[in-house]
Structure 1
Amino acid sequence: MSGDLPDYYFRVRENGAFVFRLDTENRQRRIDMDQIAVININNGQIKPHGQYQLTPDDMAVIDKWVAERKAVLAKRDVDDIHRAIDYLNLTAHWAQTRAEDEQLEQVTDDLLLAMHDLRSVLVRKKADRLMKARSGSDD
């Protein structure tokens, strides 16, 4: 393990993280992790843990982590969508080349409904963007 540990550790959880302050300055030379806060990325809440009072330095590090985490999650969302496009293409190829009638019978209705729902959302969102762009160019 490197001798240059950060002052903070963020244990990621589904909707945020637990924030720990690291302490290596002790007689046993072990790493102590003291929980200082809980972050909820979804609603933006940062709650101190127990009686701990967050310092301005704590908040600066936490705010930086939140901004970086949101960027990572946004990038992952787009990557997941690109992966979904690949899966749709692979599914089309499977349906055309390898799928048995019984297999197609099992998935066709669900796929058609999911694709119809997705198409409806995408068309509506595209129309909204076009209308917004048109109204913005009329200024």
Structure 2
Amino acid sequence: MAEKLPEYYFRVRDNGAFVFRLDTENRQRRIEMDQIAVVNMRNGEIKPHGDRTLSTADIEAIKNWMVERAQTLAHREIDDIFRAIDYLNSTTHWVQSRATDEQLEAVTDNLLLAMHDLRSTLVRKKADRLMKG
């Protein structure tokens, strides 16, 4: 490892992370990971691990990570939606050009219900936005 390791490591989990302080300044030059906190992204809570007290630098680093993580998740969410649009287009092409009668029988009702639900929700949300503006 030519580059210096970061001071903190965040082990991502659902709705947050476990926060570790990294240490390579030991006799064996091994990477030691010392858990210092647990982060809950849903409610913004930062809990020190065990009976630890977090320093101002610890809290600042964790809060910075939380901001960056929220941005990453927001980007991924909208990217997933754009991928869904592409997938719907691919599905349309498959239905039109390659699907067998048996395959269509297996998926048509579920696709129609899902598309009806999506369309109804999109139309309602669009109407709500138009009424506000």
Classify the TM-score, shorter chain.
over 0.9
User: Which of 68-77 and 23-32 deviates more?
Assistant: 23-32
User: Distance in 1 between the 2:113 and 2:101 partners?
Assistant: 19
Amino acid corresponding to residue 8 of structure 1 in structure 2: Y
What's the TM-score, normalizing by structure 1?
A: 0.92
Residue 55 of structure 1: how far off its partner (Å):
1.1
Alignment match, 2:80:
80
Q: List per-residue Cα deviations over 1:37-89 (Å, max 9, x = no partner).
A: 11111222211100111111111000000000000000000110010001100
| Consecutive aligned runs of 4 or more in structure 1 exceeding 6 Å deviation | none
Q: Where do 5+ consecutive residues of structure 1 fail to align?
A: 134-139
Alignment match, 1:119:
119
**Matched ranges for 1:28-39 at <5 A:** 28-39=28-39
Amino acid corresponding to residue 127 of structure 1 in structure 2: A
Residue 3 of structure 1: how far off its partner (Å):
4.1
Residue 14 of structure 1: how far off its partner (Å):
2.1
Q: Cα RMSD over matched residues? A: 1.0
User: Distance in 1 between the 2:47 and 2:79 partners?
Assistant: 31
Amino acid corresponding to residue 6 of structure 1 in structure 2: P
Q: Where do 5+ consecutive residues of structure 2 fail to align?
A: none
User: Distance in 2 between the 1:95 and 1:28 partners?
Assistant: 61
User: Distance in 2 between the 1:23 and 1:102 partners?
Assistant: 59
Amino acid corresponding to residue 24 of structure 1 in structure 2: T
Residue-pair matches, total? 133
Residue 98 of structure 1: how far off its partner (Å):
0.8
